[in-house]
Structure 1
Amino acid sequence: MISHLYIVGVSALVATAVQASIIQNKPRDGVIALDMQFDSNSQDLIKRQVGEHDYSFPGTSLPKLVLPVGSNKDEVQLFVDTGSWLTQVPDVATNCAKCLLPDGKLGLYDANKSTTAVKTGQSLKSTFGSTAYFYGEGVIDDIWFDPDFKIPGTLFNDVHDIGSSWPYGILGLAKPPKGSENENIVWNAYKAGLINKPIFAITQRNESATSLQLFLGGYSKSQLIEDYTWTSINNENFAGHIDFVDINGTKVIINETVTFDTGNYQAGVTQEIFDALLASFPDDPNNARGSNKIDYNLIKDKTMTVSIYGKSYNVPLIAFIEPDCKSQHCNIWIHVSAWNWGSGFNRFLNLALNYDNGSYIGIAGWKPSNTNDIVSF
């Protein structure tokens, strides 16, 4: 999710408050591991704008988690987004009736009742589309991971006005601009001594792809085919240069840098690449060419070769269709739009981002596993 972020009224209060709130919590082997929901069977469709194109996707198919915020540990549900850096927390001031937790209860933060909240006076506006926006105020507060474990002093957008498209907040994981490191939970966890290195990793936990895990400072070895390959991305967003995609022996030259965006689901390409990719799919007697549909049985056991920064990875071809579809008419989720490849594709890779000394993306081949062997970077 690439955002347009506007910040007004920056104050020296930010740095002072963050420094004062750092607490040395007990490290847990240098890794924080979080389960993320991936409810890909929902029929709830919402609109999203990317570039000049609108398209629909199941909003709940994006990875998300529930986090308590502030001294009262108000629970909020946040999309985990590698395409933006600022955390967006819906406040009670939004009167958002759709901001629900998995149990159906309302999930809103109350900055006025949190004794650890520090209001910065910043006006924050993040816009992702005409009906997808977060307007609020910069607040510094603690983000909790269990009753006795927190990341202290993260600056986030205490949202007072939320667009109708997004019934949840956002946990932004892209590297923030220089000087705004306190807006990122990974940096804050590292500075507080909670993780060994300022790196996060996202790993698919099982073959069904209905659950993901987010790791701060570590990863799960059991899903890796080999060690991570690290490439400098020079402080850019969470991005990778895709050389080509080979489907059924047909090599489609991509030669573009794409954002690996967990705040999106589809794969965005140009019209030329769109036509070439769809032409490489197996012939399907049940779906006409141009219908953007495919019989699941024709691709369920097929893989494609994807070259990223000159290294090849095997990815299941179902990465390009709607989640959980096993019918004869599954939607192919490749669209003509900005170069932004979402969780439908990148859930079949092990991806990590190292914030230190610039930015480095780590990529490793994925293998299905129902076990975890968590280690620190």
Structure 2
Amino acid sequence: MRSPQLLIVGITTLITTSVHASIIQNQPRNGVIAFDTPLDVSTDLSKRQVGEHDYIFPVSNFPKLTIPIGSNKDVVQLSIDTGSWLTQVPDVASNCTECLLPNGKLGLYDANKSTTAVKTGQTLKSDFAPTHYYHGKGVVDDIWFAPNFKIPGTLFNDVQEISPLWHEGILGLSKPPKGSENQNIVWNAYKAGLISKPIFAITQRNESSNSLQLFLGGHSKSQMTEDYTWTSIENKNFAGHIDFININGAEIKINATVTFDTGNYGVSVSQEVYDAIINSLPYDPLKSRGIISYDSIKDRSVTVSIYGKNYSVPLKAFFGPGCDPGVRYCDIVVYPNPAWNWGSSFNRFLNLALNYDNGSYIGIAGWKPSNTNDVVAF
């Protein structure tokens, strides 16, 4: 899998979500599988690390799916992560007492009781930090998304040892290395004929970031201001090269490739860029304390150039969830860190997609809020 040092973060307030499937009931229709995952704030804390550089996120936004796995349809909770590709499934052997489902029940998979499980014998270790890890064995089994609908034959890490600071597994969505395509549910759904093309898309319905949508094989046109622009990112993670951002008329040179990561919330940049962003924000005497008044940023936008094309996003892209009318101050979620990982605080305001076919291509399109859906296949 990808280098653990690329998966950010510090101390985070996790967001608990579950599949409500209000779009199309999780069933493949017209070559698309869609999930609606509302977000609810919890107070669960987690610490993640990038190399030797720690930093703190006061908020986080980790969308999750609650899904059954194996012949017994053991229900587990997995974070949707565009920053990694390997699916991590906590097994009963891990004795995880904190791996709870939204209903409060324990959510663990039992590979020994699944008649469809095929154990590969491969040892899998994912160490994101000394205190954050998944250790287990390779297993191939069915992942279910509805009582009569499954994605067959996905290889995942059947986790035997899980960090006590993590309370769920991971559903990795980035493209696996060549030869390991069966580690990815999008590719497996395509090969099984369940979706029209091996592409996933992620969209937010509103600016509050409490209605994430995940699509396999399609997208919703209602939140788009234009068609996707596709760029090859061969041999890279789910990433985009950002040329510059313009805040309040001040152009800040970025010239860096950043990972768009739903497994994180904040925006990590170099110290120089961090200073420039903070200085370009509207004046507020509390900026040095990491907060700014809502009234000073409401209705303002930022221009972001990605692969030479300009996109307009709300200035709220650099602030935490809850930065909405009625609040007095908003948390700044920009942090100095050399990892260049931009989480869902920013990418919720773009339509992002990843095409796995004949290479690896990121799709980017302008975004607009919409309470409706017009779901179409790619």
Gaps of 5+ in 2: 6-26
| Paired position in structure 2 for 1:124 | 124
**Is residue 316–residue 323 contact of structure 2 (8 Å, CA) maintained in 1?**
no
Q: Residue 129 of structure 1 aligns to which amino acid in structure 2?
A: A
C-alpha displacement of 1:296: 1.7
Q: Residue 298 of structure 1 aligns to which amino acid in structure 2?
A: S
Deviations 1:42-88 (A, max 9, x none): 33332111233223336762111111100111111111001100000
Query: Compared with structure 1, are the counterparts of its residues 271 and 60 closer, same or farther at alpha carbon in structure 2 (3 Å cutoff)?
Result: closer
Q: Distance in 2 between matches of 1:366 and 1:276?
A: 25
Equivalent runs, 1:1-377 vs 2, <5 Å: 3-4=3-4, 28-39=29-40, 41-57=41-57, 61-285=61-285, 287=286, 289-326=287-324, 327-337=327-337, 338-377=339-378
Deviations 1:7-51 (A, max 9, x none): xxxxxxxxxxxxxxxxxxx95210111122433x33333211123
| Paired position in structure 2 for 1:13 | none
Q: Per the alignment, in what secondary structure is the counterpart of residue 165 of structure 2? A: coil
Bigger mean CA deviation after superposition, 175-184 or 29-38: 29-38
| Paired position in structure 2 for 1:18 | none
Q: Residue 158 of structure 2 aligns to which amino acid in structure 1?
A: D
Bigger mean CA deviation after superposition, 212-221 or 322-331: 322-331
Q: Residue 319 of structure 2 aligns to which amino acid in structure 1?
A: I
Query: Compared with structure 1, are the counterparts of its residues 31 and 93 closer, same or farther at alpha carbon in structure 2 (3 Å cutoff)?
Result: same
Q: Per the alignment, in what secondary structure is the counterpart of residue 113 of structure 1? A: coil
Query: Compared with structure 1, are the counterparts of its residues 283 and 59 closer, same or farther at alpha carbon in structure 2 (3 Å cutoff)?
Result: closer
Q: Residue 49 of structure 1 aligns to which amino acid in structure 2?
A: Q
Q: Residue 117 of structure 2 aligns to which amino acid in structure 1?
A: A
* Structure 1 vs Structure 2 CA RMSD: 1.7
C-alpha displacement of 1:301: 1.5
Q: Residue 277 of structure 2 aligns to which amino acid in structure 1?
A: L
Deviations 1:144-189 (A, max 9, x none): 1100000000000000101122211000000000000000001100
Q: Per the alignment, in what secondary structure is the counterpart of residue 251 of structure 2? A: strand
**Is residue 59–residue 320 contact of structure 2 (8 Å, CA) maintained in 1?**
no
Q: Residue 85 of structure 2 aligns to which amino acid in structure 1?
A: W
Q: Distance in 2 between matches of 1:299 and 1:322?
A: 13
Q: Per the alignment, in what secondary structure is the counterpart of residue 298 of structure 1? A: helix
**Is residue 303–residue 316 contact of structure 1 (8 Å, CA) maintained in 2?**
yes
C-alpha displacement of 1:331: 2.0
Q: Residue 85 of structure 1 aligns to which amino acid in structure 2?
A: W
Question: How many positions carry a matched residue from both structures?
Answer: 354
Q: Residue 189 of structure 2 aligns to which amino acid in structure 1?
A: A
With normalisation by structure 2, the TM-score equals 0.90
Q: Distance in 2 between matches of 1:140 and 1:64?
A: 21
Query: Compared with structure 1, are the counterparts of its residues 56 and 165 closer, same or farther at alpha carbon in structure 2 (3 Å cutoff)?
Result: farther
Q: Per the alignment, in what secondary structure is the counterpart of residue 318 of structure 1? A: helix
C-alpha displacement of 1:254: 0.4
**Is residue 60–residue 266 contact of structure 2 (8 Å, CA) maintained in 1?**
no
**Is residue 35–residue 65 contact of structure 1 (8 Å, CA) maintained in 2?**
no
Q: Distance in 2 between matches of 1:51 and 1:38?
A: 29
Gaps of 5+ in 1: 6-25
**Is residue 222–residue 370 contact of structure 2 (8 Å, CA) maintained in 1?**
yes
**Is residue 37–residue 65 contact of structure 1 (8 Å, CA) maintained in 2?**
no
**Is residue 42–residue 60 contact of structure 1 (8 Å, CA) maintained in 2?**
no
Query: Compared with structure 1, are the counterparts of its residues 322 and 229 closer, same or farther at alpha carbon in structure 2 (3 Å cutoff)?
Result: same
Q: Residue 295 of structure 1 aligns to which amino acid in structure 2?
A: S
Q: Residue 309 of structure 1 aligns to which amino acid in structure 2?
A: Y
Q: Distance in 2 between matches of 1:27 and 1:108?
A: 26
**Is residue 77–residue 100 contact of structure 1 (8 Å, CA) maintained in 2?**
yes
Query: Compared with structure 1, are the counterparts of its residues 241 and 3 closer, same or farther at alpha carbon in structure 2 (3 Å cutoff)?
Result: same
With normalisation by structure 1, the TM-score equals 0.90
Q: Distance in 2 between matches of 1:292 and 1:27?
A: 44
**Is residue 201–residue 219 contact of structure 2 (8 Å, CA) maintained in 1?**
yes
Percent of aligned positions that are identical = 71
Q: Residue 280 of structure 2 aligns to which amino acid in structure 1?
A: S
